[in-house]
Amino acid sequence: MGISRRQFFGWMTAAIGSQVAFRPDAKAASNKHFTGYPGSMGVLHDISRCIGCRKCEAACNQVNSLLPPDRPFDDLSVLAQKRRPHANSYTVVNRFDLAGRQLPVFVKKQCNHCQEPACVSACFVKALKKTKTGAVEYDASLCVGCRYCMVACPFNIPSYEYNNPLTPEVTKCTLCQPRIQKGLLPGCVEICPKEALTFGTRDELIQIARQRIQEFPDRYVNHIYGENEMGGCNWMYISNAPFADLGMSEDLGITPAPALTSGALAAVPVVVSLWVVFINGIFAISKRKEQVAAEEKKTAVDQALKTEQTRLNDTVAQLKEKAKADQEAAVKREVKKALEDAAKQAAEIQTDPPEASPQSSETTQPGKQESE
Amino acid sequence: MTQSTPREKTVLTPFNVISGIIILIGVILTILRFAKGLGGVTNLDDNNPWGIWIGFDLMCGVALAAGGYVTCATCYIFGLKKFKCAVRPAILTAFLGYALVVFALNYDVGRPWRLPYPIFLSQGTSSVLFEVALCVFLYLTVLLLEFSPAAFEWLDWKRARHIIGKVSMVLVIFGIILSTLHQSSLGAIFLIVPSKLHPLWYSGYIAVYFFISSIFAGMSMVIFEHSLVARFLHDKIDKEHDIESQNVALGFGKAASFLMAGYLMIQVIGIAIDNDWKYLGTRWGLWFLVEMIGFVGLPAVVYAIGVRERNIKLIQRTAGWTVLGIILNRLNVSIIAFNWQLPLNQRYFPSFPEIMTTVFIITLGLVIFKFIATRMPILYAHPDYPDDH
């Protein structure tokens, strides 16, 4: 490693520190419960009052300066098909012909302006923002066009200008934020002939909804759609038919979308911190193992060498000793032989020298006796 | 291609001709894409904002590039030196994989010239996609640096090669951390859509599923890729690589088998925790079981058999099988089981230009891989740096 351990840990601390310090919205496991910005505005849609005149669609088209539709807004045959908002229509009305009912039910569909919106939490450039006045605003100047907001929205609301090659934008209802700031009502609310749409603060709207349900319990389903769905919305609905029959999902739960991902995001700095420790630890362990193995190998080899050397030395010493003994024995033998020969010669000289035969001298040889 | 006639020197080999045609089609599609917009070439719509350019090019591309960090960790962190010969091919694959993921993103997002925005202009830190973007950006940089020694050796830039050699360990560690986060966050992207992704695939553990499956995806990819390289670029492989690749297949095959068994276990735990048993009896359940048993359970068993019998061919085939299983999983999560409640006529199926663009990008990857592997010391050791390989 060319970089010192100290340097490396310094960098890591900086990396983790930036993760921890620059997260003002981090609140993964706190017990805080966000109940919406106080005084934020919204709309209550009373489905039982809607007559499907599509005037809201026309007004929306006008106030947002959208392109004219393929078929005029007073053509009610459009209602035969289930529609969703698209790039050129921020709101649509759908008709539901329910079994056992004489009259159809009409539902207006647009952005629900969630209190903690999935799209806002999903946007990786903060092009979508929840304003304190209630609207979810879109800033096209930041949008990259990844369309994760569309994936994330549980109500399938944001749309995309797929046919715009260079400056495509995400489109959706703005709650007529520019009009609200001028003190005007949203276009759709203003034009509604049946007062099926009511504009007000979210708290007021919930009160109104409860009152209506209480006053006409036989008429309304006892549920304010959007009060708690996905953590609550600024656009809410009361209905005379079950919401599930009106294409409105009732299994969304009450968990706000950001809570679904906050755990995974909170794990990021933890993983970074622990991985640094684990990876360095495993690296150190495997390195140490290599070291120990090398040392053990060296010790074993040294030991083996030493043992072998000792054994060799012993053998050499033994051989040396034996050789020495043999040599001494040989010397002794030679000396003895020489002495005996000398003695014999002396005796032969004293007695009768010609009598001495080679046979007799052989039998008295000392070397032969020893070897036997 | 096997005939050694002088005519082989021509550039008009079957590989070059076919890839040339595909690249030509790709160029035309590129012009169409940016002239007519996404609507002109894709089947994407407001309910299906993500198609195969995300589901295949991004999701599968990243998963199959996991061989880079897995091999680096095996060789340098766990200290299993026998895997050294697999490091450079795996890093090259990972680098090209990530580079092509970013390349493909330029087709998919509406305004690709704004892709640096999330990193440099306006950081949406509450988004999992921000984590993904940051990891792609950082890891692509790390992979470029990890790959650079091969290029420097080829260019004979000794000084640059020397400098990069000194920080290699830091790069390895960064690479593993970034990969962990990135692989898992691709799964975490779908945490926000409990009402859209089928409950059998949606799980609070999805980030862990993506991370664990990326490990055996990476191992399988290393094994599978070597079997292809051994067939088509055999003259570029030196003897040491050839022998050690057998050990790599045995080692990774064994590890993948265990990991896949563990992965199956945590999938079962996920179903139990959300009490999704009732869905197993439905058609979606059958499809889920095809994925889990047919493309995880069975290959895990066959891997084990292959390792026990030291059957390299069988291990290589199982690796290809496992790779298919990973592709199936990523497509299931991002496309097939996504929007499962929509009526059939509102579901997404890729258009011909979308498929051809993806084929074009894969072809581009193969051509660049071949270009680099036939020139730079990827499959053989450079004589000047025999140990750094």
pLDDT of residue A267: 92
Does B128 fall in a domain? Answer: yes
Closest CA–CA distance from residue A166 to any residue of chain B (Å): 7
* pLDDT tens digits, one per residue of B154-173: 888 888 888 888 888 899 99
Closest CA–CA distance from residue B313 to any residue of chain A (Å): 31
Closest CA–CA distance from residue B119 to any residue of chain A (Å): 8
Contact A148, A174 (CB under 8 A): no
Does B190 fall in a domain? Answer: yes
Best B72, B111, B182, B345 member to test A by mutation, with max A CBs in 10 Å, is B111
Q: What is the DSSP string of A74-118?
A: T-GGGGGS----BTTBS-EEEEE--TT-SS-EEEEE----BSS-H
- As a whole number, mean pLDDT of residues B208-223 equals 96
pLDDT of residue B13: 85
Least confident of A212-226, A341-355, B65-79, B82-96: A341-355
Closest CA–CA distance from residue B2 to any residue of chain A (Å): 44
**Which chain A residues are within 8 Å of B166, Cβ to Cβ?**
1-3
Domain tally for chain B? 1
Q: Which residue is it, tokens 């260019």?
A: B155
pLDDT of residue B173: 93
This complex has an ipTM of 0.90
Does B74 fall in a domain? Answer: yes
> Structure tokens of B387?
């140990």
Least confident of A34-38, A143-147, A209-213: A34-38
User: Residue ranges of the domains in chain A?
Assistant: 33-255, 267-371
Least confident of A256-265, A274-283, B371-380: B371-380
Closest CA–CA distance from residue B82 to any residue of chain A (Å): 14
Contact A238, A209 (CB under 8 A): yes
pLDDT of residue B6: 47
pLDDT of residue B1: 41
> Structure tokens of B141?
């940089």
Neighbours of B282 (CB within 10 A): 12
pLDDT band for position A149 (cuts 50, 70, 90): very high
Contact B321, B217 (CB under 8 A): no
Read off the pTM: 0.86
Q: Is the pLDDT of residue A23 over 70?
A: no
Q: A145–B111: do the CB atoms touch at under 8 Å?
A: yes
pLDDT band for position A277 (cuts 50, 70, 90): very high
**Which chain B residues are within 8 Å of A273, Cβ to Cβ?**
none
Least confident of A188-192, B34-38, B87-91, B376-380: B376-380
Option in B42, B47, B117 nearest A144 (CB)? B117
Contact B315, B306 (CB under 8 A): yes
Q: Is the pLDDT of residue A22 over 80?
A: no
> Structure tokens of A19?
């993760």
Q: Is the pLDDT of residue A370 over 60?
A: no
Higher pLDDT, B386 or A216: A216
Inter-helix orientation angle B312-331/B239-274, to 10°: 40
pLDDT of residue A368: 46
**How far is it, in rounded angstroms, from Cα B100 to Cα A283?**
31
State the Cα angle at B302 between B296 and B305, rounded to 5°.
145
Does B5 fall in a domain? Answer: no
Option in A151, A261, A279 nearest B188 (CB)? A261
pLDDT band for position A372 (cuts 50, 70, 90): very low
In chain B, what percentage of residues exceed pLDDT 90?
Answer: 77
pLDDT of residue A26: 46
Report the DSSP beta bridge partners of residue A41: A201
What domain range is B177 assigned to?
Answer: 13-373
CA-nearest residue of chain A to B189? A261
| Intra-chain end-to-end CA distance of chain B, in Å | 29
**Which chain A residues are within 8 Å of B353, Cβ to Cβ?**
none
Least confident of A256-265, A266-275, A323-332, B241-250: B241-250
Contact A169, A140 (CB under 8 A): yes
Contact A162, A168 (CB under 8 A): yes
Q: B77–A283: do the CB atoms touch at under 8 Å?
A: yes
pLDDT band for position A28 (cuts 50, 70, 90): very low
DSSP collapsed to 3 states, chain B? CCCCCHHHHCCCCHHHHHHHHHHHHHHHHHHHHHHHCHHHHCCCCCCCCCCHHHHHHHHHHHHHCCHHHHHHHHHHHCCCHHHHHHHHHHHHHHHHHHHHHHHHHHHHCCCHHHCCHHHHCCCCCCCHHHHHHHHHHHHHHHHHHHHHHHHHHHHCCHHHHHHHHHCHHHHHHHHHHHHHHHHHHHHHHHHHCCCCECCCCCCCCHHHHHHHHHHHHHHHHHHHHHHHHHHHCHHHCCHHHHHHHHHHHHHHHHHHHHHHHHHHHHHHHHHHHHCCHHHHHCHHHHHHHHHHHHHHHHHHHHHHHHHHCCCHHHHHHHHHHHHHHHHHHHHHHHHHCECCCCCHHHCCCCCHHHHHHHHHHHHHHHHHHHHHHCCCCCCCCCCCCCCCC
CB contact residues (below 8 A), chain A span 285-344, against chain B: 286-287, 289-290
Q: B122–A127: do the CB atoms touch at under 8 Å?
A: yes
Q: B38–A162: do the CB atoms touch at under 8 Å?
A: yes
| Intra-chain end-to-end CA distance of chain A, in Å | 77
Mean pLDDT, chain B, whole residue set: 91
In chain A, what percentage of residues exceed pLDDT 70?
Answer: 86
Q: Is the pLDDT of residue B217 over 50?
A: yes
pLDDT band for position A358 (cuts 50, 70, 90): low
Option in B37, B78, B124 nearest A124 (CB)? B124
Does B384 fall in a domain? Answer: no
- As a whole number, mean pLDDT of residues B258-270 equals 97
Closest CA–CA distance from residue A34 to any residue of chain B (Å): 16
- Residues 6+ positions from B54 with CB-CB distance below 8 Å: B108, B334
Nearest to A230 by CA among A175, A160, A156: A156
Question: CATH for A33-255?
Answer: 3.30.70.20
Q: A275–B115: do the CB atoms touch at under 8 Å?
A: no
Does B141 fall in a domain? Answer: yes
Amino acid found at B250: L
**How far is it, in rounded angstroms, from Cα B86 to Cα B379?**
8
Confirm or reject contact between A256 and chain B (CB < 8 A): no
**How far is it, in rounded angstroms, from Cα B39 to Cα B80?**
50
**Which chain A residues are within 8 Å of B130, Cβ to Cβ?**
124
Reduced to 3 DSSP states, what percent helix, strand and coil does chain A have, rounded to the nearest 5? 50, 10, 40
In chain B, what percentage of residues exceed pLDDT 70?
Answer: 97
Report the SS3 class of residue A138. strand
Q: Is the pLDDT of residue B243 over 70?
A: yes
Does B4 fall in a domain? Answer: no
Amino acid found at A41: M
**How far is it, in rounded angstroms, from Cα A99 to Cα A190?**
32
pLDDT band for position A3 (cuts 50, 70, 90): low
- How far CA A112 is from CA of A126, A170, A202, A239, B328, in Å, comes to 19, 16, 12, 16, 35
Q: A253–B194: do the CB atoms touch at under 8 Å?
A: yes
* pLDDT tens digits, one per residue of A240-276: 999 999 999 988 999 999 999 999 999 999 999 999 9
Identify the H or E element spanning A260. Answer: helix A257-350
Does B383 fall in a domain? Answer: no
Count contacts between A and B (CB, < 8 Å). 195
CA-nearest residue of chain B to A273? B177
Option in A2, A121, A275 nearest B126 (CB)? A121
- How far CA A169 is from CA of A144, A166, B1, B336, in Å, comes to 9, 10, 50, 26
- As a whole number, mean pLDDT of residues B327-353 equals 95
Rg of chain B's alpha carbons, rounded to an integer? Answer: 21
**Which chain B residues are within 8 Å of A86, Cβ to Cβ?**
46
> Structure tokens of A359?
């046979």
pLDDT of residue A1: 44
CB contact residues (below 8 A), chain A span 195-224, against chain B: none
Best B47, B131, B162, B192 member to test A by mutation, with max A CBs in 10 Å, is B192
**How far is it, in rounded angstroms, from Cα B137 to Cα B98?**
9
Q: A2–B76: do the CB atoms touch at under 8 Å?
A: no
Q: A125–B124: do the CB atoms touch at under 8 Å?
A: yes
**Which chain A residues are within 8 Å of B170, Cβ to Cβ?**
1, 3, 8
**How far is it, in rounded angstroms, from Cα A115 to Cα A108?**
19
Confirm or reject contact between A83 and chain B (CB < 8 A): no
Q: Is the dihedral of CA A66, A68, A74, A77 positive or negative?
A: negative
**How far is it, in rounded angstroms, from Cα B296 to Cα B264?**
7
* pLDDT tens digits, one per residue of B94-139: 999 999 999 999 999 999 999 999 999 999 999 999 999 999 999 9
Least confident of A11-15, A55-59, A119-123, A181-185: A11-15
CATH number at residue B29: 1.20.1630.10
Option in A85, A251, A257 nearest B192 (CB)? A257
Q: Is the pLDDT of residue B41 over 60?
A: yes
* pLDDT tens digits, one per residue of B73-101: 999 999 898 898 889 999 999 999 999 99
* pLDDT tens digits, one per residue of B178-205: 999 999 999 999 999 999 999 999 999 9
Least confident of A131-140, A242-251, B175-184, B234-243: B234-243
Q: Is the pLDDT of residue A70 over 80?
A: yes
pLDDT of residue A38: 87
**Which chain B residues are within 8 Å of A118, Cβ to Cβ?**
192
Higher pLDDT, B1 or B337: B337
